[in-house]
Amino acid sequence: MASNNSIHTFSLKGLTGGMVDFGAFRGKKILVANTASECGLTPQYKQLQELQEEYKDSLVVVGIPCNDFGGQEPGTADTIAAFCERNYGVTFPLTEKLSTKAPNQAPIFQFLTSKELNGLQDEEIKWNFHKFLLDEEGHLIASFPSTADPIEAMLQYMPA
């Protein structure tokens, strides 16, 4: 796989400042999820946090808030961050709110959903909490639909 098929080339603004540099996660698997605070699937934040804690030496979870589906992430950066910390104890990186679909699809979601860019598959994000798994070199290796339980989906990819 060519190096241009790696998420490690991306940096995004952090939800509460700073940058989330995907290159800094080299050597760990990365699980990226488009998140929303007012979705029926919002309790997945708890499972994503559990994954982050359980596999902190080999996995980084990154949440990317999005308001594309049902307007379920209307909050500001501060309200999203406070909600995630207060309700789910989220410590994994959260980025600025981005769009997952055209016409304003963020470049990172273009990468994650286009085989031409990610080298693996075309994928359509149909709802909040769609999950993408990347290997230690930043290459896409799997994706999971919104309804997939994050912990169950990850079992086959993580050490016992």
Helix (H) or strand (E) holding 116: helix 115-118
Active-site entry in 4, 34, 67, 87: 87
67 is catalytic: no
Of 56, 54, 36, 53, residue with least CA distance to 45:
36
Pairing of strands 131-134, 140-144: antiparallel
Find all residues with CB under 8 Å of 140, minimum gap 6, and list them: 5, 7, 112, 118, 119, 120, 121, 132, 133, 134
The residues annotated as belonging to the active site are 87
